[in-house]
A = this chain, B = another copy of it.
Amino acid sequence: MPDLSHFDPVDLPHASRLVNHGPTVLVTSAHGGRANVMAAAWSMPVEFTPPRIAVVIDKRTWTRELVLASGAFGLCVPGAALVDLTHAVGSCSGRAVDKIARHGIATRPGPVLGVPVIEAGCAAWLECRLIREPHTEDAYDTCFGEVVAAAADRRIFAGGHWTFRDDNAALQTIHHLGGGHFVRAGGTLRAAPL
């Protein structure tokens, strides 16, 4: 079978750009032969070098359990074509149902930690090693991670830059307003040169 992936590795110094603009992400995790995916609107970079991010993962979720057990997680950036899937996996728990199987989500192991990452329909992914911060995890459900590998679909992110065009609308990032309503990033604006 031919390799249909449009993904290329992203240099780690550029990894923060994949989530710099606040997209809703899919958090992937696996431990002990089971894997899970949840949606998260609350994530952000916190450092360029080394690339580090923060993501809010509620302590009641199964993802939190898998992330703590494995010390790793993926952040996958869904394109607009995955809006229904994103909402669906954000609305039920993987304890009760195998969301990856139910939704027929294809995953591949990340190159460094083996965290499952999603490419089909996604614009990018980041493979992250959990940085244990028990107080912050407990008080704010905020988990910190160091990005150890990243990749993006070259049709929308290449050479360290996003390009939002009419012909890649299905890959454009989505941003959750709440209650299943999303906005799509688009309409690039260029600030005046300083």
Please report A residues at the B interface, Cβ cutoff 8 Å. 17, 20-24, 41-47, 52, 54, 56, 80, 83-84, 86-88, 91, 133, 135-136, 140-142, 144, 161-162, 164, 174-178, 180-194
Contact = CB atoms under 8 A, between A and B. Distances in A.
A141 B47 contact: yes
A114 B31 CA distance: 48
Q: Which of A23, A45, A178 has the most CB of B within 10 A?
A: A178
Contacts of A192: 84, 87-88
Copies of this chain, complex-wide, total 2
Given A47-B140, A141-B46, A174 B189 contact: yes
Nearest to A180: B191
27 contacts: A17-B177, A17-B178, A20-B178, A21-B22, A21-B177, A22-B24, A22-B44, A41-B45, A46-B140, A46-B142, A47-B141, A54-B140, A87-B194, A88-B192, A133-B135, A133-B136, A161-B177, A162-B183, A174-B189, A180-B191, A181-B190, A182-B188, A182-B189, A183-B186, A183-B187, A184-B188, A185-B185
